[in-house]
């Protein structure tokens, strides 16, 4: 049975999953890289990007890496909001730009990109981006077919995750709370009052200072 | 050197320290008791209230109790907002009502109650309530004299804590994050962007599901 899983979604202690003022150069806005500094030293990140593996000795293998690694296992497709593909709004004006992820994106599966603006399917390396104007339910049904018996990762951003949570489609939700006060940006938890009633919750504090929350949908 | 310390201040994972719709019967509004359920089983709470000590075998002695106990040590005075004394707004209309805390309040020290409305000092058991219209700095100076070399506890509510944090008067801040989404109420973190830059932060997850954050002011 295909599960819909959210992994490594970082929020500040005041609940913002991204900052204010997103641009091409600053995908997290004024948050900069602060929501992801827990992730960068991990073996999972280092081995994904490659380029500074030697500098950090192959990366850490503690609890932050364990959670990062878990996100890679058993995934057959991803769903993401358009903002995770690129910063453009409105109709696609430059289809030659192939997203934020370079020539070998780290997904290696079909990726459903939610957008109101049609665009041909786009293979990049081992990843194929499928641009679809779809409801959460429709997107999940499509991704589940693409995943071919494996699970589907819901890759964000926060607005998309919130929509899928509101539609009660998420089976596994891994949130990383970073001990910073961002003050402004996009809130993850808005509109999700009493969310915890639908999930079992497990909490693990990391020596890095972040806290890993695992929400597992109640049977 | 007197320190100003906040202890056991519970917030939901979406950052609300109290719910919407506070009344005499529901001091946390729609949050009910959900922000404090981690606290009730502790030995510290049970021995403070007494009445159900036998029912729970004297209370738990784990990490939640350790934090609860620490809040009692070395305190010579407290500062609280008027809302922690009682639910009234505006001029005092019934001075015979002596607050939410019964005939032996759990403070056992002078307590500065911040209010714009004068009222005579009120001894109740071992506690004396001092009603003062004071800025955070003035209230702290007064409480420090009353504490006579010990520390001052800043007892809340969240709006008061925020004001003292904005004035950079808090030395120790213990926050308990409860894994519930309240959705509405009074936010603790608003206006405190980059608060973490002034503090060292330590994080401990409890088996009860709450997370204890200790912010210690940088030297």
pLDDT per residue over B171-187, tens digit each?
Answer: 999 999 999 999 999 99
Is B189's CB within 8 Å of A14's CB? yes
Task: Decide if B98 is inside a domain.
Answer: no
- The arithmetic mean of pLDDT across residues B28-38, rounded, is 94
- Closest of A16, A10, A72 to residue A36, by C-alpha: A10
Chain B residues with CB-CB distance to A201 below 8 A: 179, 209
pLDDT of residue A12: 98
pLDDT of residue B183: 97
Nearest CA in chain B to A182: B193
Nearest by CB to B181, from A14, A192, A209: name it: A192
The CATH number that applies at residue B12 is: 3.40.430.10
Is A194's CB within 8 Å of B177's CB? no
Q: Residue B53: is its pLDDT beyond 60?
A: no
DSSP B197: G
Is A203's CB within 8 Å of B204's CB? no
Is A181's CB within 8 Å of B193's CB? yes
Q: Residue B107: is its pLDDT beyond 60?
A: yes
Is B209's CB within 8 Å of A193's CB? no
pLDDT band per the 50, 70, 90 thresholds, residue B95: confident
Nearest CA in chain B to A213: B179
Instruction: Give the domain extent around B189.
Output: 4-88+103-217
Is B177's CB within 8 Å of A177's CB? yes
Q: With H, G, I as helix, E, B as strand and everything else as coil, classify residue A169.
A: coil
Q: With H, G, I as helix, E, B as strand and everything else as coil, classify residue A120.
A: coil
- The arithmetic mean of pLDDT across residues B79-91, rounded, is 90
Task: Decide if B117 is inside a domain.
Answer: yes
pLDDT of residue B55: 56
pLDDT of residue A24: 78
DSSP string, B29-51: GGGTTTTTTTTTTBHHHHHHH-T
- Tell me how many domains chain B contains: 1
Q: Positive or negative, the Cα torsion across A19, A22, A27, A30?
A: negative
Cβ pair A121, A110 in contact under 8 A: no
Residues of B with CB under 8 A from a CB of A: 13-15, 177, 179-184, 187-196, 201-206, 209-211, 213
pLDDT band per the 50, 70, 90 thresholds, residue B158: very high
B122-138 pLDDT tens trace: 999 999 999 999 999 99
Chain A residues with CB-CB distance to B190 below 8 A: 14, 183
Q: Which position has the higher pLDDT, B93 or A169?
A: A169
Chain B residues with CB-CB distance to A190 below 8 A: 14, 183
pLDDT of residue A70: 96
Q: Positive or negative, the Cα torsion across A88, A92, A93, A99?
A: positive
Q: Residue B87: is its pLDDT beyond 90?
A: no
pLDDT of residue B94: 85
Q: Residue B57: is its pLDDT beyond 70?
A: no
Q: Show contacts of A213-217: CB within 8 Å, 24+ apart.
A: A213/A173, A213/A174, A213/A175, A213/A176, A213/A177, A213/B13, A213/B179, A214/A172, A214/A173, A214/A174, A215/A170, A215/A172, A215/A173, A215/A174, A215/A175, A216/A171, A216/A172, A217/A170, A217/A171, A217/A172
Element (H, E) at B147: helix B136-147
Is B194's CB within 8 Å of A213's CB? no
Chain A residues with CB-CB distance to B13 below 8 A: 15, 177, 189, 213
pLDDT of residue B51: 57
Q: Return per-residue pLDDT of chain A as tens, 219 residues.
A: 899 999 999 999 999 999 999 887 888 899 999 999 999 999 999 887 655 555 556 899 999 999 999 999 999 999 999 989 988 888 998 888 888 899 999 999 999 999 999 899 999 999 999 999 999 999 999 999 999 999 999 999 999 999 999 999 999 999 999 999 999 999 999 999 999 999 999 999 999 999 999 999 998
A165-219 pLDDT tens trace: 999 999 999 999 999 999 999 999 999 999 999 999 999 999 999 999 999 999 8
Cβ pair A218, A200 in contact under 8 A: yes
Q: Which position has the higher pLDDT, A129 or B53?
A: A129
- Per-chain mean pLDDT for chain B: 93
To the nearest whole Å, the CA of A203 is away from the closest chain B CA by 6
To the nearest whole Å, the CA of B45 is away from the closest chain A CA by 23
pLDDT band per the 50, 70, 90 thresholds, residue B93: confident
pLDDT of residue B134: 97
Nearest by CB to B189, from A181, A193, A210: name it: A181
What ipTM describes this predicted complex?
Answer: 0.90
pLDDT of residue A219: 87
Chain A residues with CB-CB distance to B192 below 8 A: 14, 181, 183
- Closest of A187, A184, A176 to residue A215, by C-alpha: A176
Q: Residue B52: is its pLDDT beyond 60?
A: no
Is A193's CB within 8 Å of B179's CB? no
pLDDT of residue A50: 59
- The arithmetic mean of pLDDT across residues B23-39, rounded, is 90
pLDDT band per the 50, 70, 90 thresholds, residue B63: very high
Is A181's CB within 8 Å of B192's CB? yes
pLDDT of residue A87: 82
Q: List the structure tokens of B59.
A: 């209370």
């Amino acid at each position: 049975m295909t599960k819909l899983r959210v992994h490594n979604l970082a929020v500040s202690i005041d609940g913002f999953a991204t900052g204010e003022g997103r641009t091409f150069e600053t995908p997290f806005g004024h948050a900069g890289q602060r929501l992801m500094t827990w992730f960068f030293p991990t073996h999972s990140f280092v081995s994904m990007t490659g380029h500074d593996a030697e500098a950090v000795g192959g990366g850490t293998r503690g609890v932050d890496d364990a959670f990062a690694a878990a996100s890679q296992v058993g995934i057959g497709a991803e769903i993401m909001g358009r903002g995770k593909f690129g910063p453009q709004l409105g109709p696609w004006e430059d289809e030659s730009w192939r997203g934020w992820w370079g020539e070998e994106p780290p997904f290696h599966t079909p990726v459903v990109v939610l957008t109101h603006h049609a665009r041909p399917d786009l293979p990049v390396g081992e990843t194929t981006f499928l641009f679809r104007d779809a409801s959460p339910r429709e997107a999940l049904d499509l991704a589940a077919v693409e995943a071919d018996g494996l699970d589907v990762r819901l890759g964000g951003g926060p607005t998309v995750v919130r929509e899928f949570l509101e539609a009660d489609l998420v089976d596994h939700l891994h949130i990383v709370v970073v001990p910073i006060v961002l003050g402004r940006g996009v809130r993850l938890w808005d509109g999700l009052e009493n969310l915890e009633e639908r999930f079992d919750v497990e909490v693990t504090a990391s020596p890095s200072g972040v806290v890993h929350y695992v929400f597992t949908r109640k049977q």
